[in-house]
Amino acid sequence: DQQVKQNSPSLSVQEGRISILNCDYTNSMFDYFLWYKKYPAEGPTFLISISSIKDKNEDGRFTVFLNKSAKHLSLHIVPSQPGDSAVYFCAASASGTYKYIFGTGTRLKVLA
Binding region for other proteins (CB under 8 A): 32, 34, 36, 41-46, 49, 51, 89, 93, 95-100, 102-105
Nearest distance in Å: CB 102, other proteins: 4
Nearest distance in Å: CB 104, other proteins: 5
Nearest distance in Å: CB 98, other proteins: 3
Nearer to other proteins, 38 or 109 (CB): 38
Nearest distance in Å: CB 15, other proteins: 27
Nearer to other proteins, 80 or 93 (CB): 93
Nearer to other proteins, 46 or 58 (CB): 46
The secondary structure of the chain, three-state, reads CCCEECCCCEEEEECCCCEEEEEEECCCCCCEEEEEEECCCCCCEEEEEEECCCCEEEECCEEEEEECCCCEEEEEECCCCHHHCEEEEEEEECCCCCCCEECCCEEEEEEC
Nearest to 68 by CA among 39, 100, 28: 28
Nearer to other proteins, 92 or 110 (CB): 92
- Give strand pairing partners of 87: 38, 107
